Amino acid sequence: MSYPFEHGDETLWDAGYHSGQLYFALARGAAEFLDVAPGLTPTPQGSCAVDGEVFQVFVQRLYELYTGGSGEVLRELGHGLLVTSLVLLDRAGGRIAVRPRDAAALDGAKAALARTMAS
């Protein structure tokens, strides 16, 4: 059983059911904490629709929290959510502004994770 994340007619990530549900719950919680919409909407068909523009704003805010210097624990808590979100955003054709000092590490983490995320 899977939990696909879809942008229009394209499947961005055909997540396992539990992985997809957990990612959605974490994203929803982070979005609430950041006071933005996540851009993710569960569908009656058992998938999750990704609104690219809204999701891009969410991912940008998540990145700003990640790099905001609020402490190592907060940074590590957000890392997995951020990298997963960056993979989805990339597959949806979106981009966020990333500081040059963060680009190589995030690109590497994103590439490694993307190889494990079936689409």
pLDDT digits (tens, 9 = 90+) for 46-58: 999 999 999 999 9
Residue 34 has pLDDT above 90, yes or no: yes
pLDDT for 119 equals 84
* Residue 2, strand partner residues: 16
Q: Which two tokens stand for residue 91?
A: 């597959």
pLDDT, average across residues 9-31:
97
Per-residue model confidence (pLDDT) at position 68:
87
Residue matched to tokens 């609104």: 51
Looking at the whole model, is its pTM more than 0.85? Answer: yes
Query: What's the CA gap between 66 and 74, in Å, rounded?
Result: 7
pLDDT in tens, 74-100: 889 999 999 999 999 999 999 999 999
